[in-house]
């Protein structure tokens, strides 16, 4: 029996928008977050690795209510990525990213 150790990435059925439905914040720009997610998900596997997630979060910081973005320091990103990658698989799912956004870009 072949038992190849391969990380099985299960695509999240829920959209980022639905994960964030209780997060009342305005995003500027004409893309929604799920569109932005697909755009930054370079290999289209449905998850964001560290590089992809960094690009995604940079864009979020640009389009989110600037009152929330002002406390975010991009140099802390590597640490935050580890923290919010709850299952430590090296990728952020939409659920994990929703937590990232809710906590890192919380209102003051
Ligand atoms: Ca990806
Ligand atoms: Ca993960």
Q: Which ligand is nearest to the CA of 81?
A: 2
The CA 92 to ligand 2 mean position distance, Å, reads 4
- Please list the rounded mean pLDDT of every run of 10 residues in the chain (108 residues): 60 86 87 95 96 97 92 95 97 96 88
The CA 44 to ligand 1 mean position distance, Å, reads 5
Alpha-carbon torsion angle 29, 101, 65, 25, nearest 10: 90
The residues, any chain, with a CB within 8 Å of residue 4's CB and separated by 6 or more, are none
The pTM of the full predicted model, rounded to 2 decimals, is: 0.88
Q: Rounded to 5 degrees, what are φ and ψ at 89?
A: -95, 5
Domains observed in the chain: 33-104 (1.10.238.10)
The CA 47 to ligand 2 mean position distance, Å, reads 8
The CA 14 to ligand 1 mean position distance, Å, reads 16
What pLDDT shows up at residue 55? 98
């Amino acid at each position: 029996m072949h038992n190849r150790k391969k990380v099985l990435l299960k695509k999240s059925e829920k959209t980022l928008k639905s994960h964030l439905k209780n997060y009342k914040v305005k995003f500027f720009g004409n893309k929604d977050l799920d569109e932005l997610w697909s755009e930054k998900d370079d290999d289209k596997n449905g998850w964001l690795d560290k590089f992809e997630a960094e690009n995604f979060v940079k864009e979020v910081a640009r389009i989110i209510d600037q009152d929330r973005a002002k406390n975010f320091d991009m140099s802390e990103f590597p640490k935050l990525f580890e923290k919010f990658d709850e299952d430590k698989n090296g990728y952020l799912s939409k659920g994990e990213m929703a937590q990232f956004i809710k906590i890192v870009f919380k209102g003051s």
